[in-house]
Amino acid sequence: MIRQFFWYKVGNGISISAWFDNWCLHSLSISAWFDNWCLHSPLISSLSARQVNRGGFNMNSRLVDIIANGEWVWPDQWNSKFPNAIVPSIDVYTPDKLWWRDRNGIFNELSFGVAWNDIRPREAKVVWASVVWFANCIPRHAFILWG
């Protein structure tokens, strides 16, 4: 449920799962198999564990493991599965960075506050809220009034 909100900006590709992570070419970090990356990520949604193993990889492969010299190093038949998969540029000097993609599709630096605000349940504001919760209120008293 929550994995869909985590996206990587690709740097050196070491932190990103090749199969499970979501990642974006324009520098949001990546697992090739499990992470989200642009249109095709996570790759595990299109490949089985058996296909990954037959391709010469394992489930712990990182994004950097499936790219060499600016090209995919996966079996040729995978090219038909991912015909428009653009190879991300790997920068060995830049670490991958984890971002939060909110429900509106906007990328934010990951923080618990941003994540909680995006996934928390939302209810209509009740008219009596300002009576119970106000500046300088004593929480114990507010709780008694609220109860």
User: Beta strands 17-24 and 31-36: pairing type?
Assistant: parallel
* One pLDDT digit (tens) per residue for the chain, 147 residues: 677 788 888 888 898 888 888 766 544 444 455 555 555 667 888 889 999 999 999 999 998 999 999 899 999 998 888 877 778 888 889 898 888 888 888 888 889 898 998 888 888 888 877 777 777 777 776 666 555
Is residue 6 helix, strand or coil? strand
Instruction: Give the model confidence (pLDDT) of 101-129 as tens digits.
Output: 888 888 888 898 989 988 888 888 888 77
pLDDT for res 28: 42
pLDDT for res 24: 66
Q: 63: which 2 tokens?
A: 């994004």
pLDDT for res 25: 56
Q: How far apart are CA 23 and CA 42, in angstroms?
A: 8
DSSP secondary structure letter of residue 134 = -
**Inter-residue contact 77 to 66 (CB < 8 Å):** no
